[in-house]
Structure 1
Amino acid sequence: MALQDQVAVVTGAVQGIGRAMAEILLRNGAKVALLDVNEAAGKSLKEVLDKQHGPERTLFLSCDVESEEQIRAAFQRTAGALGAVDIVCNNAGVLNEAEWEKTISVNLVAVVRVTYIALEHMNKMSGGRGGVIINTASMAGLFPLLSCPVYTATKYGVVGFTRAMADKTANSTALGFGIRFNALCPGFVQTDILDNIYERLGQFSQLSAETQVFVDKGVLKTSEVAEGLLELLTNDTKNGEALQVMCSSQKYMKFPVFT
């Protein structure tokens, strides 16, 4: 898939992985709608990107992914301002074991909600152009992070949802939506979530030392995760992939596996 003039929607777009995603999309010729609840940071980022790429290539929309109404409005405004949507990056996420219902709502329920609304715009069977949906999961979606059981559950859910959707919608004669689905599964990344992880472990805070062991083995830059996004977008053979993105020092790590 060539990205020139493709229209992308990125949730959780104004910092961390989401910002890196937006930047790599723009560098490769795409137009990007930046969705985030942080309005001040969103407007600031929009100004920066306007200087680099021109004001017509980005759109910032204040949007809470827990709100169906706001998501629907964001997709409508994106289509009106930038054109039909080709790419969706479900990236908004939180980690807070004390606020576990919020974690499930943002990390998993919102991924499903945004995806189903995106299908209304992208589905070839209803007049869309098809495209690619990329869901930000985590290595915790493949190997349990013991100090974060709810976060782990949400990311396992994202991987499972991604694979199930990919199995049915890319080239299926029954559901030929023309959409590829893939998941990004990075290790620890230098973001706000990592900066504050030990304050958000809730009743599992006593396991912070075990988490630190894995952090000490290497932390990714957000730009490295964005390179994984680019691979999943541009390689048309990728569908149902759960792409592991790890530091070279992490590649031979042994993760706990439970049967």
Structure 2
Amino acid sequence: MALSGKVALVTGAGQGLGRGISDILLKNGAKVAMLDRNETAGKNTKVDFDKKYGEDHSIFLTCDVTSDEQLKGAFQKTIERFGRLDIVCNNAGIVDESNWEKMVDINLKGVIRGTYLALKHMKKENGGAGGVIVNTASMAGLGPILFLPAYTATKHGVVGLSRALAEASKAGGYGVRINALCPTFINTPLLSYLTDEELTGDFRPLCHFAPQLQEMAGMLEVPVVAESFLHLVTDEDKNGAVMMVTAEGGAYINFPQNVMEVPKTPVTSTRTPTEPETPSK
């Protein structure tokens, strides 16, 4: 997929990875709607990008992904402004084990909501032109982080959602690819939350494992992860792909065979049917 002339929507775009993803999309010729509940960060990012790429190439929309009304409105405003929608990155996320309900609302329910809205606008059966969705998960979507159990659950959910919908899109002819991005530790403000005593809640005594995990996995810079995101967008062979990004580079995860995959040909039962009883006269 060439990005020139394409339109993208990115959640959590005000800072960190979301800003980096928006930057690389703009750099490659796409127009971008940047969504974030942090209005100050979002507006500052918009000002910076206007200087680099011009005012007409991006918009900023204040949006909380836990609000169905706000997210629907942001999708609609994006299409009204740019006339189409080709790429969606559901990236907004938090770390807060002390308020796990809120974390589930943002990290998982927000991604589900954003993915369903993206499909509504892009899938061919609805008159859309197709496109690609990339959902930001984490290494926690592939294995457990012992001091972030609810966070781990949300990211496992994002990976599962993305893989299942990729199969649905393939079987249903939606024309939309759905992939998941699973980076290890990224040098963003979110990193400090891993050892925040308030945000780790009951699991704060286990936070001392965080530096050990960071040392093992290495530290990623935002542009490196953004490049991996770009591969998931531009490689049209990637649907249902899950990319883990480490200090050594990006690697696609090969999951075991999907036992629930829809068979290409009908399966005929080998069971001998039971003969019906002859009704008594």
Aligning the two structures, in what range does the TM-score lie when normalised by the shorter sequence?
A: over 0.9
Taking the aligned partners of 2:140 and 2:208, their CA distance within structure 1 comes to 17
Taking the aligned partners of 2:193 and 2:110, their CA distance within structure 1 comes to 22
Equivalent pairs, count: 248
Map of 1:51 onto structure 2? 51
* TM-score, L = length of structure 2: 0.86
How far off is 1:119 after superposition?
A: 1.5
Runs of 4+, deviation exceeding 4 Å: none
For 2:173, which of 176, 193, 205 is the aligned residue?
Answer: 176
C-alpha contact 2:243 2:250 (8 A) present in aligned 1: no
SS at 1:10 equivalent: strand
SS at 1:190 equivalent: coil
Measured against aligned partners, the alpha-carbon deviations of 1:14-58 in whole angstroms (never above 9, x if no partner) come to 100000000000000000000000111111111111111111100
Task: Quickly say closer, same or farther: Cα 1:144–1:128, change in 2 above 3 A.
Answer: same
Taking the aligned partners of 2:234 and 2:119, their CA distance within structure 1 comes to 20
Correspondences of 1:51-200 after superposition (within 5 Å): 51-169=51-169, 171-172=170-171, 175-199=172-196, 200=199
Correspondences of 1:202-221 after superposition (within 5 Å): 202-217=201-216, 218-221=218-221
* TM-score, L = length of structure 1: 0.93
Taking the aligned partners of 1:48 and 1:116, their CA distance within structure 2 comes to 31
C-alpha contact 2:95 2:193 (8 A) present in aligned 1: no
**Seq. identity, %:** 50
Aligned partner of 2:168: which letter? Answer: K
- Which runs of 5 or more structure 2 residues have no equivalent in the other structure? 252-281
Task: Quickly say closer, same or farther: Cα 1:249–1:232, change in 2 above 3 A.
Answer: closer
SS at 1:5 equivalent: coil
Measured against aligned partners, the alpha-carbon deviations of 1:134-191 in whole angstroms (never above 9, x if no partner) come to 000000000100110000000000000000000110x32xx11100000000001111
Map of 1:232 onto structure 2? 232
Question: Which piece of structure 1 moves more, 15-24 or 211-220?
Answer: 211-220
Taking the aligned partners of 1:119 and 1:181, their CA distance within structure 2 comes to 10
C-alpha contact 1:122 1:128 (8 A) present in aligned 2: yes
Measured against aligned partners, the alpha-carbon deviations of 1:214-242 in whole angstroms (never above 9, x if no partner) come to 11231111111101100001111111111
Taking the aligned partners of 1:189 and 1:90, their CA distance within structure 2 comes to 17
Aligned partner of 1:75: which letter? Answer: F
Taking the aligned partners of 1:154 and 1:249, their CA distance within structure 2 comes to 24
Taking the aligned partners of 1:62 and 1:83, their CA distance within structure 2 comes to 20
Map of 2:42 onto structure 1? 42
RMSD, aligned CA: 1.3
Taking the aligned partners of 1:125 and 1:245, their CA distance within structure 2 comes to 33
C-alpha contact 1:57 1:82 (8 A) present in aligned 2: no
Task: Quickly say closer, same or farther: Cα 1:194–1:7, change in 2 above 3 A.
Answer: same
- Which runs of 5 or more structure 1 residues have no equivalent in the other structure? 252-259
Task: Quickly say closer, same or farther: Cα 1:250–1:82, change in 2 above 3 A.
Answer: closer
Higher relative contact order (CA 8 A, sep 6+): 1
Task: Quickly say closer, same or farther: Cα 1:250–1:134, change in 2 above 3 A.
Answer: closer
